[in-house]
């Protein structure tokens, strides 16, 4: 019987969830789908040695990285706190590079992107990793177009997932691509998760992002913007609330928020619109009004720039996901 060989690469101090989200989903697809071409899931590590996964777990491998041959359907490199050592290990990097050449598709989860980048597989490509590592990743690999926003990115045959449970979304996308949306739906129901979050959904929403900044004036402005999206939140008005000049407020925001007040307002408005689009049935015109956007066209342009798809398509995708919850 034909199969789809999938190699999941782990290493010392890999993240267990990065691995399990992939292996469990694929194994479940095999059982639910009675597939003509089932996934042959292989847990791979250097020397086929058992690897430590925090906290205090030992994971055994089925194959040695050095002796694995292809062709492979999919090569997936997991992330974890051992990623820096893995990316600096010439044996791991060389064999990931070798196996990538004989794989139909290649992917990383979380900081596994460091290993792909060290192997030169992300040069000139758009990629993501866990938001908390994005700046360090971009500085270490300037040839990679790093986008810390989406939960996963596909660029050609290479995919990168943001981290931890985003591996679930990426694996469900692979299952849908290989065997259709119905099997992906069945797997998601068994996992009691959404059918699939779109890859361009943000890693963090306005409700789970970092807490307000420590600077009192900036914090007052942030709180005011979040509570008054439909009001006057121009830089001049916000500067008055902060008790500083507009120019000084811009300097404070660049220092403490990494962006101008105007850009912060736009991002919060679009994030709030995304929340309303998913959680309510409000017409898009009403969503735009509540979020301080001048019109549905303004909403469409800003939303498409941020999420890559128009609001109507975003709502349709998320409604499908909600309707398929277990």
HEC string of 23-53 equals HHHHHHHHHHHCCCCCEEEEEEEHHHCCEEE
Question: Does the active-site annotation cover 110?
Answer: yes
Spatial CB neighbours of 235, under 8 Å, sequence gap ≥ 6: 246, 249, 250, 260, 261, 262
Is 118 a residue whose pLDDT tops 60?
yes
Kindly state the helix (H) or strand (E) to which residue 145 belongs, with its residue range: strand 145-146
Which range, of 30-34, 45-49, 111-115, 197-201, averages the lowest pLDDT? Answer: 197-201
Output the pLDDT for position 325: 37
- Average pLDDT of span 282-311: 90
156: number of Cβ within 10 Å = 9
Backbone angles phi, psi at 189, to 5 degrees: -65, -40
Tokens of 176: 């849908």
CA distance 42 to 10: 11
Q: How confident is the model at residue 267 (pLDDT cuts 50, 70, 90)?
A: confident
Q: Locate 279 and state its tokens.
A: 């959680």
Query: Tokens 């990285």, residue?
Result: 65
pLDDT of 42-90, one tens digit each?
A: 999 999 999 999 888 999 999 999 999 989 999 999 999 999 999 999 9
Catalytic residue among 21, 53, 110, 291: 110
pLDDT digits (tens, 9 = 90+) for 161-176: 998 888 998 999 899 8
156-158-163 Cα angle (round to 5): 135
**Ranges 113-117, 124-128, 322-326: which has the least confidence:** 322-326
pLDDT bucket at 200, cuts 50 / 70 / 90: low
Q: How far is CA 172 from the centre of its chain?
A: 13
DSSP assigned state of 324 = T
Measured in degrees and rounded to the nearest 5, phi and psi for residue 207 equal -90, -15
CA 40 to chain centre: 25
What are φ and ψ of residue 277, in 5° steps? -60, -40
pLDDT of residue 258: 83
Mean per-residue pLDDT, 91-115: 98
Long-range contacts of 176-184 (CB under 8 A, 24+ apart): 178/4, 178/37, 179/29, 179/33, 179/35, 183/29, 183/32, 183/33
């Amino acid at each position: 019987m034909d199969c789809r060989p999938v190699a999941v690469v782990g290493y010392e101090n890999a993240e267990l969830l990065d691995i399990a989200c992939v292996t469990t989903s694929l194994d479940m697809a095999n059982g639910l789908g009675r597939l003509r071409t089932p996934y042959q899931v292989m847990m791979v590590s250097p020397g086929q040695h058992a690897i430590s996964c925090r906290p205090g777990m030992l994971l055994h491998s089925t194959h040695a990285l050095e002796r694995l041959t292809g062709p492979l359907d999919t090569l997936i490199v997991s992330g974890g706190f051992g990623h820096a050592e893995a990316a600096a290990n010439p044996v791991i990097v060389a064999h990931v590079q070798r196996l990538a050449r004989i794989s139909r598709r290649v992917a990383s989860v979380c900081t596994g992107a460091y290993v792909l980048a060290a192997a030169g597989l992300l040069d000139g490509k758009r990629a993501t990793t866990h938001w908390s590592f994005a700046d360090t990743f971009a500085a270490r690999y300037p040839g990679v177009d790093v986008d810390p926003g989406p939960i996963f990115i596909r660029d050609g045959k290479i995919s990168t997932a943001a981290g931890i449970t985003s591996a679930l979304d990426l694996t469900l996308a692979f299952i849908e691509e290989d065997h259709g949306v119905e099997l992906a739906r069945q797997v998601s129901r068994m996992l009691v998760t959404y059918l699939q979050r779109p890859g361009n959904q943000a890693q963090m929403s306005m409700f789970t992002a970092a807490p307000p900044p420590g600077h009192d004036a900036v914090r007052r402005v942030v709180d005011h913007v979040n509570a008054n999206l439909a009001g006057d939140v121009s830089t001049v008005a916000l500067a008055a609330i902060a008790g500083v000049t507009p120019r000084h407020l811009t300097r404070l925001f660049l220092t403490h928020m990494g962006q101008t007040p105007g850009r912060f307002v736009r991002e919060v408005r679009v994030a709030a619109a995304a929340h309303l689009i998913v959680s309510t049935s409000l017409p898009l015109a009403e969503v735009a009004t509540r979020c301080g956007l001048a019109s549905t066209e303004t909403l469409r342009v800003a939303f498409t720039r941020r999420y890559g798809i128009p609001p109507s398509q975003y709502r349709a995708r998320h409604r499908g996901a909600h309707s398929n919850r277990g």
